[in-house]
Amino acid sequence: MNSKSGSEALKMSTPPHSLKASLHRYRFLILAALVVCILPLTMRSGSLAAEVLVFALAAFGCNLLLGHTGLLSFGQGIFFGLGSYSAGLTLTN
């Protein structure tokens, strides 16, 4: 039989959280945030950078919807189209 209490066994089984482990776990999120922050500064055209980020967000939404859930929905396409249409109207008027 084990003479250790339940809380001592729990403390020994969970590894301590370190900064290196957290950075390794969230490395893709940190990389994406850096790209989003640096992309508009490095491209010559700010509108092109914004367009790249908008289409990346739309692609991420499609990947999330179709890849993880397996559902096919045109709802997000409608919202994307309405946003593009209203932005176009706003820019022309």
List, for residues 76-87, the tens digit of each pLDDT value.
788 888 888 888
- Which pLDDT value is given to residue 23? 74
pLDDT at 19: 73
3-state helix, strand, coil in the chain (%, to 5): 80, 0, 20
Query: Which residue did the predictor score with more confidence, 4 or 82?
Result: 82
Average pLDDT over residues 3-10: 55
Residue % of the chain over a pLDDT of 90: 0
pLDDT tens-digit readout, 16-47: 567 777 777 888 888 888 887 887 788 777 67
Distance CA 24, CA 89 (A): 44
pLDDT value at residue 6:
54
Q: How far apart are CA 10 and CA 23, in angstroms?
A: 24
Judge if pTM exceeds 0.85: no
